[in-house]
Amino acid sequence: MKRFPWLTSLLLFLAYATFGKLVISTAHLWTSIASVALLGVVIAIILMHPITSSEHMLKKWFKSDTVAFATLLGIAGFASILLNWFKIFLPIIMVLTAEALVRLDLQTAEYTQNQALGILVVIAWLGLGFGWALATYF
């Protein structure tokens, strides 16, 4: 019988609840909720094959020195924006790290990729809903 990673799943739930509470306070409510719900699915899909797809992409991308230099400049620019708007990016970073941790625990517990995807999406949407409820009613 597979053991379910309760602690890391709770961390992911709380990360999405915090993110949901932050998103609910934006001006365009339904657009924000839809984009964050879609973000939860996209992150879960990306984490299905993190190493193989990343390695293939990086090998293809960094064949040229010019492209590598331009990429590094872009990363440096993104890092400066990230540090400038750290309050905005902190919940996103928190969600990414919590989701990666749950994905590793699910992989260690030998869940299939489709089971892990379903679990990650359900936890993400439950957390977003809980954050929305907290922001709306409390």
pLDDT tens profile 98-119: 999 999 999 999 999 899 999 9
The arithmetic mean of pLDDT across residues 66-70, rounded, is 84
Does residue 135 register a pLDDT over 90?
no
Average pLDDT, the chain: 85
Please list, in sequence order, all residues whose beta carbon lies within 8 angstroms of the beta carbon of residue 134, skipping any fewer than 6 positions away: 17, 20, 21
Q: What band does 121 get if pLDDT is binned at 50, 70 and 90?
A: very high
